[in-house]
Amino acid sequence: MDVIRRAVEGLGSRWRILLYRAAGMHIRGHVLLRAIEFPRRPRCITLGAGAMLERGVVLLATCDAARIELGRNCYLNRHTMIDANELVTIGDEAMIGPFCYLTDHDHTIAASASAADGPLISKPTHVGARCWLGAHVSVLKGVNIGAGSVVGAGCVVTKSLPAGVIAVGNPARILREIAP
């Protein structure tokens, strides 16, 4: 029965790849797409060869100029959301845990108006190659996470992190460097 289940899942992934390519998504080689939420602007999204997106992943480009770029062999676990107004990139071989949220923008804030009334403030967000984000991590606008870094579960990353560190907490802070 496992062989049949895997065959059906493989056919479903191939069907979704054809559908997304026809809609304009840039897919560089073979990828594995579970039942992700179909993006409103698929032409703004690039998936590197070997990328794997699990069920419930949401790729949201809020305007025509927005871009989401996923590197080769990166993995997005269940119910992760990437919300781009300008640019969100994830490097090669990065692993993103379940229920993560990555964004490149937030709202203006004024005492006399609601947050929805003002324009969005955007700065590109980047997760480096070989990074690992644990479950329920939030990465906010303008953050760069250096290659090979690990961000512990539940962190809110408000400031950039250098390469090769472990970060924990809310807001995320560097716990230690990773030994080479």
Domain positions in the chain are 2-177
Alpha-carbon dihedral angle through residues 145, 148, 153, 157, given to the nearest 10 degrees? -10
Q: Looking at the DSSP assignment, which residues form a beta bridge with residue 83?
A: 60, 103
Backbone angles phi, psi at 95, to 5 degrees: -120, 125
Enumerate residues 6+ apart whose C-beta is below 8 A from 126: 88, 89, 90, 91, 143, 144, 145
pTM beyond 0.75, yes or no: yes
- In words, the CATH class of domain 2-177 is mainly beta
Residues noted as catalytic: 107
> DSSP secondary-structure letter at 86?
S
Cis (ω within 30 of 0) for the bond into 180?
no
Q: What is the pLDDT tens value at each position of the chain, 180 positions in all?
A: 788 888 878 788 888 888 888 888 999 998 988 888 867 788 899 999 999 999 999 999 887 889 999 999 999 999 999 999 999 999 999 999 999 999 999 988 777 777 777 788 999 999 999 999 999 999 999 999 999 999 999 999 999 999 999 999 999 999 999 987
